[in-house]
């Protein structure tokens, strides 16, 4: 009898937690589209791509792009944090609804083991605390789309490269390395397109 009671309480708690996570999004959802930065001849293939996730493990994904919006399942929204920049900019989690009973989040996968001009971006399960793969808070929107300010002075823009998954993948530039861009990459803005 105690086992049955324990199971029923566990189910009730899981159902309550699931409902809580589903209700996190109180804002209008959007898909994220690339907008090629000016002055990059021959890189039109990186313009007007749509962000989604590419499964790499349990609850882990890389941020990748598809050429048409119809393939996209990542419905983005900003979820508030209690953080602001020194200048007063309010920071958010860049969250996604992927059709699960829990949110996913954009994660800046900083790797301090080596010096690199850019780093990958992930779309991982969960929201906020407990993230051990990188930085997940510090996002905001402005006139040039999605920005990141969580690593003060460390973010220098978005880079899309056709590398690891044989499809365009999202990376972020790190300040201080110049502006060299390989032929298989392009500098882009990430613009919200509301659903």
Taking only the tens place, the pLDDT of each residue in 101-153 is 999 999 998 776 677 889 999 999 998 754 555 688 899 999 999 999 976 55
- Confidence check: pLDDT of 154 > 70: yes
pLDDT digits (tens, 9 = 90+) for 65-107: 999 998 888 999 999 988 888 899 999 999 999 998 999 999 9
Note whether residue 5 is domain-resident: no
3-state secondary structure the chain: CHHHHHHHHHHHHHHHHHHHHHCCCCCCCEEEEEEECCCCCCCHHHCCCEEEEEEEECCEEEEEEECCHHHCCCEEEEEEEEEECCCCCEEEEEEEECCCCCCEEEEECCCCCCCCCEEEEEEEECCCCCCCCCECEEEEEECCEEEECCCCCCEEEEEEEECCCCCEEEEEEECCCCCCCCCCEEEEEEEEEEC
* pLDDT bucket at 8, cuts 50 / 70 / 90: very low
Residue 176 domain boundaries: 27-194
Q: Flag whether 121 is in a domain.
A: yes
Looking up residue 151, the CATH number of its domain turns out to be 2.80.10
- Does any domain span residue 177? yes
Residue-wise pLDDT for 37-52, tens only, equals 999 999 999 999 999 9
Q: Write down the mean pLDDT value for the chain.
A: 84
């Amino acid at each position: 009898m105690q086992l049955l009671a324990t199971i029923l309480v566990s189910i009730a708690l899981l159902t309550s937690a699931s409902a809580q996570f589903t209700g996190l999004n109180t804002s209008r959802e959007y898909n994220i589209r690339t907008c090629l930065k000016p002055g990059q001849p021959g890189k039109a293939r990186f313009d007007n791509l749509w962000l989604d996730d590419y499964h790499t493990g349990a609850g882990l994904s890389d941020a990748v792009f598809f050429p048409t919006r119809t393939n996209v399942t990542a419905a983005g929204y900003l979820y508030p944090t209690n953080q602001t920049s020194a200048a007063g900019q309010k920071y958010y989690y860049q969250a996604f609804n992927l059709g699960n009973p829990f949110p996913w989040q954009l994660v800046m996968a900083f790797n301090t083991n080596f010096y690199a001009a850019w780093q990958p971006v992930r779309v991982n399960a969960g929201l906020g605390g407990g993230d051990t793969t990188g930085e997940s808070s510090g996002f905001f929107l402005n006139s040039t789309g999605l920005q990141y300010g969580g690593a003060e002075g460390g973010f220098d823009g978005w880079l899309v490269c056709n590398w690891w998954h044989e499809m365009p993948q999202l990376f972020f530039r790190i300040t201080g390395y110049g502006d060299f861009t390989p032929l298989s990459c392009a500098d882009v803005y990430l613009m919200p397109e509301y659903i």
